[in-house]
Amino acid sequence: MRVDVGPVSDFEDHRVRIVNAGDLEVGVLRWRDRFFAIHNRCPHQKGPVCLGIVSGRLGGAAPGSMEVDEETPVLACPWHGWEFELERGRALWDKSYAVKVLPVSIESGRVLLEVGRSRD
């Protein structure tokens, strides 16, 4: 089922906006020209993951160096700091843990979520 959650202009860049899509509470993130949608429930202890901090993924090419990858958005759960990359929803430290990611499309300036289908 496709759910219209509003015009693109309602979604601020680099911020998660929580919307209702069917019977799910979903966080929608606008990251430059891309959109991501995840179920607002952390797999760890069911915390409100979408209330956490969003940033680019941190990494380094060599010991002691640190760089931000602005192409890969990451969300940290506010309860215990578990971090998830938003492309596939996988935890950074163990890919067997993941938040549910929903497919997002933009049509005629509207943000549409595909509810009932996970994004793989």
pLDDT attached to residue 118: 60
**pLDDT above 90 (res 10):** yes
Residue 120 within a domain: no
- Kindly state the percentage of the chain with pLDDT values over 90: 68
Residue 10 lies in a domain: yes
pLDDT band at 40 (very low <50, low <70, confident <90, very high): very high
pLDDT tens digits along 109-118: 999 999 986 6
Read off the pLDDT of residues 68-77 as tens digits, 9 standing for 90 and up. 667 789 999 9
- Report yes or no on 96 lying in a domain: yes
Q: Which domain holds residue 19?
A: 2-114
What 3 state SS string does the chain have?
Answer: CEEEEEEHHHCCECCEEEEEECCEEEEEEEECCEEEEEECCCCCCCCCHHHCEEEEEEECCCCCCCEEEEEEEEEECCCCCCEEECCCCEECCCCCCECCEECEEEECCEEEEECCCCCC
CATH code of the domain in which 79 resides:
2.102.10.10
In a domain, 39, yes or no: yes
User: Is there a domain that residue 50 lies in?
Assistant: yes
User: Is 38 among the domain residues?
Assistant: yes
Give the number of domains in the chain: 1
